Every structure is written in structure tokens, then in C-alpha cells.
Chains A and B, each alone.
Chain A
């Protein structure tokens, strides 16, 4: 009986749905056909990876002018270590082995004899030389570095330069010094270095994945090394594209609804179609446009990964989830934006509502780091089950190797569905009431009142 009346209801609604889809079709093509859409499709990835590209460009433009380092060696046995290391570096790292072109600066070492009486004056002199560019840095090696004692200053290596915290050279300097320190300490302890070659062999813990059982063939599949691409690259790609898609998909709705209101098109449309169908028609148009763009990016991404040889890291089972989250997210954020757009009378109003509506979305970006690091933590789990955050955060958690327990995405999607239906219902009411109201500045409490009472 219920089924029959539901069917009857659907038949009654069928012309309404068809009208709505006509509107959707118009909205969809109105965007797709514009040059702006094609341009955005191509430019967006360039913009988003702008940081990455800039880094690559800056790397290829390294300043190759030499960085001279002055050394004050109180221990009197360390300085040659730096000289040797610098010369070794000149042979291997500074010049390109094929072209002979200088790729990186060399680090010439200038050894100074320490004069304890005039030490502070010497430091000032060296600092001035750094300021006028004659020197890059000066290093003061304490007398007790071989066997560090209570005197802190004598047991340390002090590195002075303009920006010593972020200075690469400071890191480089540590290696030859510590290697020489080891040798010296060994010989002090009377141990022949050649007998204890692997004393300092640091064993890194390699990151591997999990062993699996191939369900078709019954074969055991050994664990494979995890790759940065899998652990970080693909998850970030997916979440960034989804973020972009939601941002660029939902935002224009605000403007578009406001324009239709202020250009008085809204009432003309309402003469033909109900307000709810009007709102949904527009939202579905945006969903269509965004899905088109997202498919484009997914296909481009898959092709690129295949070309780069990373095809085995692609988890195809994520794709249906990706598109589900994207569609629900667009419905969610879209209905909020459409409803708010109906309350706006000019672009100033639009600007003041645009940002608050996006706060949940933007805050996902800040949570990316912690979630990526600890996808199974309580924080990550709870946040991923909150509907405004589910599309991005749950997607992120799912795409990290190891995944999440099966029930969680399903719970997330259910939560999103309910929340989205609720938002569409409220948004529809706000839309219906405000779309024809001109001129009054609409207060938040009025908007909420309409949403709840209709």
C-alpha cells in the first residue's frame, strides 16, 4: 500500500521532475559552453600545483657563487676535516658529471688561527665580512668537542651566518666534523677503525605495506615497499581535487542565484516551475558541471600515473566513493549557497555570506596534516563522521594505505545523506521566501525562522 502511494506520488511529481531537469540542462550547458569553463579546467591544476612548479623552477636556478667559510678551530685537529670534505664535495657534487657545468656553489674553507685575546674582535671582524658578502659563514669549533665536558661553549660547534637557522651549509658542516670526531674518539679509545666498520652503520626502518591473499588465485602476495605516491601523493591529489571541485562548484551558485533575483528573472521562472524545483535544478546543474570536471581530472590523473609507472598504486575501489562524496558534498554546500544567494541583493551581500558558508570546507584543509599522519586516531575518526567534514576527511582516511574499517565510510555517507536532505529542505524554504524579497537587509535570525517555519 505504501509502495503504491509512493509510486502515485512519484507519478504526480514526474512532470515537476522533468521541468527541473530542463532547468538543470540549461544551467549545465550555460556553464560548459563558456570559454571560462575550459580555461578553468586547464588552469586550475596549474594554479594548484603552482607551489610545486615554483619550487622546481627555483631549484634549477640555484645561485652557484661560492660560499666561503672561515673556521676558527680551538681543538686544532678539526679544521682539515672540513677542508678535505669541501674538496671531496667539489669533485662529486659541485659540477655536473656530464656537462661539467657548475650546478652548486662550492664551499672554500679559510682556516684562521684562534687568538684567545682578540676573540671577540675577531668575531666582529668576521661578522662584518659576512655582512659585506666576502664570507658566507664562520664556524667556531670548541676545544673540547672530541670529549664534550661541562663547559658548553668549549664543547660545541658554533655556526654563524646571516640566516643560520635555515642555512643548508650549517647542516653540511656537521657531517665532516662528526665523522672526524668519531675517528678521533676511536683512536683515543685505542680501537682500529678498520676493525669496526659497521659500528656506525645506521639501519633505517624501511616502510613496507601488508601481505595480502589474492582472492582469485589463492596466492599469497608478499608485502611491497610503500611509496610516497601511495602514502601521500594520491591521497593528497584526491582530496585537493575534491576540495577544488566543491569550492569552484558551489561558490558560483551564490552569485548566480543573487543575479537571477536582482535581474528579476526569478519570478519569471517561478511562473513556470516551483521554487524547490528551481533551486534543485540549479544545484543539479552545478553537480553535472563539477562531475564533468572531476571526471576529467580523474582520467588525467590515472593516465599520468600510468605514464609515470605508478599504476599499481591506483586504488580503483576508491573512485565510486570519491564520486559519491563529491555529489553529496555538492548537494550539501550547494543548497546552503543557493539558499543564501536568495537572501542577497547585491555582490556586497554575497561577499559577506560567502566566507562563513565555506568555513567547514576550509577547516578541512588545516586538518589534512594530522589526519594524514594518524588516520585511525580518535580525532580523525570523529571528524570524518561529521557530515560537513565527511567528504574530505573520510576520503582522505580511506585513500591512505591501510584504509579504514568498512562500516565507517558507510556510516559517513548515511550521515551525509540525512544531513543533506535536511539542508535541502531548509534551504528550499529559505529560497522560496527570500527569492522574491527585494531591498530588505535580511538578518540571520529571520533566515533561520523561515527555514524552520516556512
Chain B
């Protein structure tokens, strides 16, 4: 097996709905065994792209290859899919619905795997209860299990962490890492840039149907200068107004991020701040993924103009 084979390959894929160009000549290559982050604002074409990979929607043009082969409808046994809008049969019992969904996908009895996962997620007590009895966090975990129970080689998770509390998020995060360690390729989309930064090997950003970022976090950040100062001060954001050389301020409460212009000298800005207040921490850095996202999607232009 070719270790460099891309699990998923999109080539110039386009999809239009009526007059809306949802996806525009998109090309993407997901390396095998990686955790591939797929980010983008709402309505940017993320879900459409994922559905095309799943062959639920058909592209208007371009080609999609999975595991090296052009996809046909029935090949998705090897793919686990967790859609963004997801539900379960409310009247079925937890174990029943998991065995049903797993059996539907794989054609075999996945009972043992179901039990392993329920055990791992601490849901065994709920195995015999109806889905309607589960809390939101629990049902998200059950949905995740449904996605992975057939041991697929590729899993696609559309916003898997939405609405989860930190504990549950951590559970899922660990599960994803374990799956990757076992060789599974993971594509997941998220709005949480921290998670994306920490978890993903590769980041792909889509904006208005077009690709705007594609690569490892490092390579993406390297296309930006170190034009960000991250600092914490006693005075907080109020003392930072009107500093010369600062293009914008992003306030996170305790910390602030300053975007400085290409002409300014960070040392000089530091002295300005020190003159106004006590500095607790000061870091000259490349913009965070969060910042990059906003720079791209916050403006109307694609591709941030960065020197």
C-alpha cells in the first residue's frame, strides 16, 4: 500500500445550488492517517463538500476519489460520517439504535464493538434506556459511537464538539487521537480554532466556496509575519487605546492581542505600554488560527493581504 496515498482527493470540484456557487473548483488532498481540520464560516460550503465526499450530494463537475478509487454510492462502509445536523430514533434503546446503525452500514453484527465503546464512554448504564432519556452531551457521545463503531478507515465529523462541555469534549478528543493512532484518517470541521490548532495535523479553510488555506498550521502561520503581540497587563484593554503602530486590538478579557503594522517596532510598542501600566506577559508571535480566520472571513476579500 502506498503510504503517501491520499485517503480523500478532490479535484476541481464544483457545486451550484440555483444561483449560489456553493463550492467553486475546490481541490483538496487528505493524507492517510492524518487529522485534517476543515474550517470555514457558516455557509462557506463546508457541509456541502463533506456531503459530496460522502456521495450524498453529487458534484456538478470535478472528481472525488476515496482510497484511490472514484467513489460510488455503496463504498461508504469504510467511512464513518457524523453530520452536523444529527438525530437518533427517539424510541429506540441506545444499544439497539447503535447495533442497527452499525449493522446498516457494515452488514454485520457490531454488538461487541458497541459494548466496548459504551464502556469507554461510561454509558453502559444507559445501554438499555431509550434515546429520548439521554442528555444532550450523552446523545452526542452516542452519535459519535454510531460513527466509529464499524471501525471505518476514514471518519468525517461535522462539528463534533458543538455544545459539549469541557469534560465531554475531552473524552471525544481523546477518542479521536486514539483512532488516529490506530491508523484512522480523521476529517473534522469545527468553529473552535483552539481545538483545530491543537488537534489537527493539517488545516484547510474554505471561504465562499473557495479554498483559502491549505497546509499544516506551521506552514499557514509562516505566510504571515510575526505581526501579533499577545500581552497581559494590569490596566487591561483600556490602557491600550491609541497606541501608535497598532492596527487593531482583540480583547479576550484577561489577554489582548495587538496587530501591529509592518512599519512598527514591537520593542517600541512595549515601551509605550510599559509607560502606561505594568506588563504581566508579552509575546511577539504569528497570528493565531483564530486571528487568521477572522482576517480572512472578516474582510470581504479572499486571501489576507499580508506582507
Whether A22 lies near B91 (C-beta < 8 A) is no
Whether B83 lies near A264 (C-beta < 8 A) is yes
User: Does B253 interact with chain A (Cβ within 8 Å)?
Assistant: no
Whether B73 lies near A22 (C-beta < 8 A) is no
Q: Which residues of B contact A23 (CB under 8 A)?
A: 104
Whether B74 lies near A267 (C-beta < 8 A) is no
User: Does B89 interact with chain A (Cβ within 8 Å)?
Assistant: yes
Q: A15-B107, A18-B107, A22-B104 are in contact. Are A268 and B87 (CB under 8 A)?
A: yes
Q: State the Cβ distance, A34 to closest chain B Cβ, in Å.
A: 9
Q: State the Cβ distance, B53 to closest chain A Cβ, in Å.
A: 11
Whether A271 lies near B83 (C-beta < 8 A) is yes
User: Does B103 interact with chain A (Cβ within 8 Å)?
Assistant: yes
A268 to B80 CA separation, bound complex (whole angstroms): 10
User: Does B100 interact with chain A (Cβ within 8 Å)?
Assistant: yes
Whether B103 lies near A271 (C-beta < 8 A) is no
User: Does A272 interact with chain B (Cβ within 8 Å)?
Assistant: yes
Whether A270 lies near B104 (C-beta < 8 A) is no
Q: State the Cβ distance, B20 to closest chain A Cβ, in Å.
A: 12
CB neighbors of A among B119-138 (8 A): none
User: Does B101 interact with chain A (Cβ within 8 Å)?
Assistant: yes
Neighbour of B100 across the interface among A26, A263, A438, CB < 8 A: A26
User: Does A180 interact with chain B (Cβ within 8 Å)?
Assistant: no
Q: Which residues of B contact A272 (CB under 8 A)?
A: 76, 101, 104-105
Q: Which residues of B contact A263 (CB under 8 A)?
A: 87, 90
A178 to B94 CA separation, bound complex (whole angstroms): 80
Neighbour of B88 across the interface among A26, A265, A271, A274, CB < 8 A: A265
A-B contact count (CB 8 A): 66
A275 to B55 CA separation, bound complex (whole angstroms): 10
User: Does B34 interact with chain A (Cβ within 8 Å)?
Assistant: no
Q: Which residues of B contact A265 (CB under 8 A)?
A: 86-89
User: Does A357 interact with chain B (Cβ within 8 Å)?
Assistant: no
Q: Which residues of A contact B81 (CB under 8 A)?
A: 268, 271
A268 to B88 CA separation, bound complex (whole angstroms): 8
User: Please, what's the 1-or-0 string for B35-48, where 1 marks a CB less than 8 Å from any CB in chain A?
Assistant: 00000000000000
A25 closest partner in B (C-beta): B100
Whether A267 lies near B101 (C-beta < 8 A) is no
A34 to B267 CA separation, bound complex (whole angstroms): 74
Whether A264 lies near B87 (C-beta < 8 A) is yes
Q: State the Cβ distance, B115 to closest chain A Cβ, in Å.
A: 20
Q: Which residues of A contact B83 (CB under 8 A)?
A: 264, 267-268, 271
Q: Which residues of A contact B104 (CB under 8 A)?
A: 19, 22-23, 269, 272-273
A273 to B107 CA separation, bound complex (whole angstroms): 11
CB neighbors of B among A262-287 (8 A): 263-265, 267-275
A194 to B35 CA separation, bound complex (whole angstroms): 112
User: Does A30 interact with chain B (Cβ within 8 Å)?
Assistant: yes
A316 to B76 CA separation, bound complex (whole angstroms): 47
User: Please, what's the 1-or-0 string for A171-196, where 1 marks a CB less than 8 Å from any CB in chain B?
Assistant: 00000000000000000000000000
Q: Which residues of A contact B91 (CB under 8 A)?
A: 30
Q: State the Cβ distance, B132 to closest chain A Cβ, in Å.
A: 11
Whether B87 lies near A271 (C-beta < 8 A) is no
Q: State the Cβ distance, A273 to closest chain B Cβ, in Å.
A: 6
A263 to B91 CA separation, bound complex (whole angstroms): 12
Q: State the Cβ distance, B35 to closest chain A Cβ, in Å.
A: 20
User: Does B206 interact with chain A (Cβ within 8 Å)?
Assistant: no
User: Does A247 interact with chain B (Cβ within 8 Å)?
Assistant: no
A30 to B97 CA separation, bound complex (whole angstroms): 12
User: Does A436 interact with chain B (Cβ within 8 Å)?
Assistant: yes
Neighbour of B74 across the interface among A30, A274, A438, CB < 8 A: A274
Q: Which residues of A contact B76 (CB under 8 A)?
A: 271-272
Whether B107 lies near A267 (C-beta < 8 A) is no
CB neighbors of A among B121-167 (8 A): 143, 146-147
Whether B100 lies near A264 (C-beta < 8 A) is no
Q: A19-B107, A268-B101 are in contact. Are A436 and B87 (CB under 8 A)?
A: no
Q: A15-B107, A19-B107, A22-B104 are in contact. Are A270 and B56 (CB under 8 A)?
A: yes
Whether B89 lies near A15 (C-beta < 8 A) is no
User: Does B85 interact with chain A (Cβ within 8 Å)?
Assistant: yes
User: Does A417 interact with chain B (Cβ within 8 Å)?
Assistant: no
Q: Which of A15, A23, A267 has the most CB of B within 10 A?
A: A267
Q: State the Cβ distance, A311 to closest chain B Cβ, in Å.
A: 43
Q: State the Cβ distance, A17 to closest chain B Cβ, in Å.
A: 11
A15 to B107 CA separation, bound complex (whole angstroms): 8
User: Does A16 interact with chain B (Cβ within 8 Å)?
Assistant: yes
A269 to B91 CA separation, bound complex (whole angstroms): 16
A105 to B265 CA separation, bound complex (whole angstroms): 115
Q: Which residues of A contact B147 (CB under 8 A)?
A: 271
Q: Which residues of B contact A436 (CB under 8 A)?
A: 51, 56-57
A18 to B105 CA separation, bound complex (whole angstroms): 10
Q: Which residues of A contact B56 (CB under 8 A)?
A: 267, 270-271, 275, 436
Q: Which residues of A contact B64 (CB under 8 A)?
A: none
Q: Which residues of B contact A268 (CB under 8 A)?
A: 81, 83, 86-88, 101, 143, 146
Q: State the Cβ distance, B159 to closest chain A Cβ, in Å.
A: 12
A16 to B73 CA separation, bound complex (whole angstroms): 9
A18 to B80 CA separation, bound complex (whole angstroms): 19
A271 closest partner in B (C-beta): B81
User: Does B54 interact with chain A (Cβ within 8 Å)?
Assistant: yes
Whether A274 lies near B107 (C-beta < 8 A) is no
A263 to B83 CA separation, bound complex (whole angstroms): 12
Q: Which residues of A contact B100 (CB under 8 A)?
A: 22, 26
Q: Which residues of B contact A438 (CB under 8 A)?
A: 85
Q: A30-B91, A268-B83, A436-B56 are in contact. Are A16 and B103 (CB under 8 A)?
A: no
Q: A264-B83, A436-B56 are in contact. Are A271 and B89 (CB under 8 A)?
A: no
Neighbour of A267 across the interface among B80, B86, B105, CB < 8 A: B86
Q: State the Cβ distance, A30 to closest chain B Cβ, in Å.
A: 7
B147 closest partner in A (C-beta): A271
Whether A271 lies near B85 (C-beta < 8 A) is no
Q: Which residues of A contact B54 (CB under 8 A)?
A: 270-271
Q: Which of B57, B74, B100, B147 has the most CB of A within 10 A?
A: B74
Q: A268-B86, A270-B56 are in contact. Are A16 and B74 (CB under 8 A)?
A: yes
Q: State the Cβ distance, B48 to closest chain A Cβ, in Å.
A: 10
A19 closest partner in B (C-beta): B104
Q: State the Cβ distance, A40 to closest chain B Cβ, in Å.
A: 17
Known: A264-B85, A271-B147. 14 other contacts (CB 8 A): A16-B73, A16-B74, A22-B103, A22-B107, A265-B87, A265-B88, A265-B89, A267-B83, A267-B85, A268-B83, A268-B146, A271-B56, A272-B101, A272-B104
* A interface residues with partner B (beta carbon < 8 Å): 15-16, 18-19, 22-23, 26, 30, 263-265, 267-275, 436, 438
13 pairs of residues in contact across A and B, judged by CB atoms under 8 Å:
A15-B74, A19-B107, A30-B89, A263-B90, A264-B85, A264-B86, A264-B87, A265-B86, A267-B86, A268-B83, A269-B101, A272-B104, A274-B73
| 3 A-B pairs closest in CB distance | A271-B81, A264-B87, A272-B105
